Chains A and B, each alone.
Chain A
Amino acid sequence: MRHDLVIHEADAARIDAVLERFLGDAGSAAVLLIERSGEPLAMAGSARTLDTVSIAALAAGAFSSTAALARLLGETEFSVLFHEGAKESLHVSTVDDDTILLAIFDERTTVGMVRLFAREASQSLKAILVDARRQPRRTGVLAAPLTPEEARSAIRQRPA
């Protein structure tokens, strides 16, 4: 079973708007929308200055192992994961079956605020992602199959 995801420009703009609103409402410094397979889908705030690729992979790993823990205890899932640091804290919550939302925040706000607005943002994001998953998979320049030359030249990794 594959759940490939195509995010077109219009959906990307809608997602960005939700994330920006979340930052303002929750007082959070950064926010990332992450596929549970570990790939970052969108981000806002100071996230752009962080190693978001690594953060997404680790957060997805932590969240899925927490979900596995929940199942061992007879729960469907723990819907929130919270890590408190000396200066910055992390709040990870469920958006839908395939996606999670990670917020990074400091003492300028509270976990309660982050939690409240994360829930609200997740509802909006869920609706956008349902639309995105329904749309045609590829359009524009990616609609046509690869030519033999494109297929040959696309992947040529070698030691430096």
Chain B
Amino acid sequence: MSIINYAAKVINFKIVYYGPGMAGKTANLQYVHRCLPDDNRGNMISLATGDDRTLFFDFLPVSATSVRGFTTKFQLYTVPGQSRYNMTRKLVLRGVDGIVFVADSQWDRLKENVESLRNLNDNLREYRLDLNAVPYVVQYNKRDLPDVAPIDYLEYTLNRGARRVPAFEAVAVTGTGVFDALNTVSRMVLLREFGQVQEGAS
């Protein structure tokens, strides 16, 4: 949920990176954390298991350009991808404004991608949200690996809702496609909140 504070002149949004286990959600946040200047981001928090898999969430606050004098802040969260952690995954979705679905492009992970997407839909419904109405992009990660499905096939499988959403090829560990997905979903969130004057309108 967006929070606008007129006294502090701050607008807050929440963006959640969703997807199956080991798809690269944490890698997205780590790259953003590593590459943004200190002024634009806060501390990154990772609640992980001993083997570095997300247990509850990763969290990274990011500041964007100000809008009419209001600082716009995006709180980035990841969810734990493993199917057994659905209860915590649902908790992280609370108050979400925008979603990046991080899919693992490898052939042998297709089933997990489809299940995770279905799980996202189910969990959103519990908050009475609909994926067709929430700002949402898809990122096809791990494009550098040898055994990946073609983009057309992934699009057909994972991006076939009532609306086709922006999709990006990515190699999150090296940063390819990371900021494309983040900037696009952030812009969609902002436009959903504030609308946009049509080009040429007076």
Q: Which A residues contact B (CB, under 8 angstroms)? A: 1-9, 12-13, 35-39, 41, 51, 53-54, 57-58, 61, 64-65, 68, 137-138, 140-142, 144-148, 150-151, 153-160
Contacts and interface: CB of A to CB of B under 8 A. Distances in A.
Q: Which of A12, A35, A53, A147 has the most CB of B within 10 A?
A: A53
A12 B5 CA distance: 8
Contacts of A37: 1, 14, 94-96
Given A38-B75, A61-B57, A145-B196, A2 B6 contact: no
Interface string B1-20: 11111111000101000000
Contacts, number: 153
Contact of A39 (B75, B183, B194): B75
How would you classify the secondary structure of chain A's contact residues: helix, strand, loop or mixed?
mixed
A36 B197 CA distance: 33
A154 B64 contact: yes
A52 B92 CA distance: 18
Given A142-B68, A158-B179, A148 B94 contact: no
A57 B75 contact: yes
B70 interface: yes
Interface size class of B (residues with CB under 8 A): 35 or more
Contact of A141 (B43, B59, B68): B68
Contact of B59 (A38, A153, A155): A38
B100 interface: no
A140 B6 CA distance: 10
Contacts of B121: none
A155 B65 contact: yes
A156 B183 contact: yes
Contact of A61 (B56, B87, B186): B56
Contact of A153 (B2, B65, B75): B65
Given A6-B6, A7-B4, A65-B56, A154 B87 contact: no
Nearest to A3: B1
A65 B65 CA distance: 33
Contact of A150 (B61, B67, B182, B183): B67
Nearest to B193: A4
A153 B59 CA distance: 25
Contacts of B7: 7-9, 12-13
Kindly list the 10 A-B residue pairs having the minimum CB-CB distance in the complex, ordered from nearest.
A37-B95, A12-B7, A159-B35, A1-B128, A145-B195, A160-B37, A155-B186, A141-B68, A64-B91, A155-B187
